[in-house]
Amino acid sequence: MAGGAGIVKRMKLGSQGLEVSAQGLGCMGMSAFYGAPKPDHDMISLIHHAINSGVTFLDTSDIYGPFTNEILLGKALKGGVRDKVELATKFGVRFVENKMEVQGDPAYGRDTMEVQGDPAYVRAALESSLKRLGVDSIDLYYQHRIDNSVPIEVTVGELKKLVEEGKVKYIGLSEASASTIRRAHAVHPITAVQLEWSLWSRDVEQEIIPTCRELGIGIVAYSPLGRGFFASGAKFVENLAHDDSRKNLPRFQPENVEHNQTLFERVRDLAARKGCTPSQLALAWVHHQGNDVCPIPGTTKIANFDQNIAALSVKLTPEELAELESYASADAVKGDRYPNYDSTWSNTETPPLSSSNF
């Protein structure tokens, strides 16, 4: 079995000069959505272990908590640690006031959130993130979700000003459509697009990945382990905490898990032949998609982190890649990525600039 943290290579992300570790660390689950928040002391130890292992690309967002994950990272970056990392955070999603109390459900649902991208909000969100993180600038600032009521040129125009002011070094988008990416890139170079890409989320390969590559934009793959599904399949779903948001995801519903278990079992069988875990095999597949791809698996346990790092040493032959991809065909997975899945939450378009009141 592959195991133990090795040397993590560096990679160029995008075409503007940003260099990051070839694998990042998604920090969301430390504070939000995946069950109860974990103790700060333990998570700071994990973050420092990641940095010492060569994983220096840290991913957070103001909506994680909300706010508490950025505060956690701010604590972890004290004492000279800031200069050792590439810090990415996001804006653009906020909880609707009192909606959570009315719903009475702490779990994550799209109808509890609102997407916002007007210039005043962009600037206010950035200033607040800087304070929580305790830093002077953000290395990579993403629009977390695209506001389909604001032309993308308007939002990116404000981000461009923040770059010019030195408060943001590089700009990213998350869950944007190919045309939105093109329009944004025409206003200011986009360094990275963050998207869900894994063996069971491959729709981005049709338009979005080719568009990023045409424009020289780096690709950051979140949930590369199928939100943990490739750890142990149906057993993983059964063991989720009652307040884990993944219990609401369509792919984790009982009527879909049985079907999706087949994909897991095929990955597990190939992993056994390779001498690695299913998670390592799934993560290695993402790494093999190109030297412009940086996956950011999240975890709250050092042992799992070390397993994820070991995926970098799992080498796949063209035949093994083809075998994996034959398992992960379009009909291999049942269920959408999100509840109430539609174009306002994923791969989003925005109105043309001419229709803007801004």
CB-count burial class (<10 Å; 0-12, 13-18, 19+) for 342: exposed
Nearest of 355, 346, 353, 358 to residue 146 by alpha carbon? 346
- Active-site hit among 34, 64, 141, 338: 64
**What ranges make up the beta strands (E) of the chain?**
10-12, 19-21, 25-26, 57-59, 86-91, 93-95, 113-115, 138-143, 168-174, 192-196, 218-222, 293-295
DSSP 113: E
Question: What is 302-315 written as a DSSP string?
Answer: HHHHHHHHHGGG--
Please give the Cα distance from 55 to 36 (Å, whole number): 25
Q: Identify the CA nearest to 59 among candidates 231, 179, 218.
A: 218
Active site includes 141?
no
Contact partners, residue 8, CB within 8 Å, separation at least 6: 21, 22, 23, 53, 54, 55, 309, 312
The burial class, CB within 10 Å (0-12 / 13-18 / 19+), for 296 is buried
Q: b/e per residue, 153-188, with b = 16+ CB within 10 A?
A: bbbbbbbbebbeeebbbbbbbbbbbbebbebbbebb
- Contact at 8 Å (CB) between 353 and 154? yes
Query: Rounded to the nearest 10 degrees, how much is the dihedral formed by the CA atoms of 217, 218, 222, 226?
Result: 90
SS3 20: strand
- C-alpha gyration radius of the chain: 19
Question: Any idea what DSSP says for residue 187?
Answer: H
Mapped onto helix, strand or coil, the DSSP state of residue 23 is coil
Question: Which tokens is 181 given?
Answer: 């990416």
Task: Write out the catalytic residue numbers.
Answer: 64
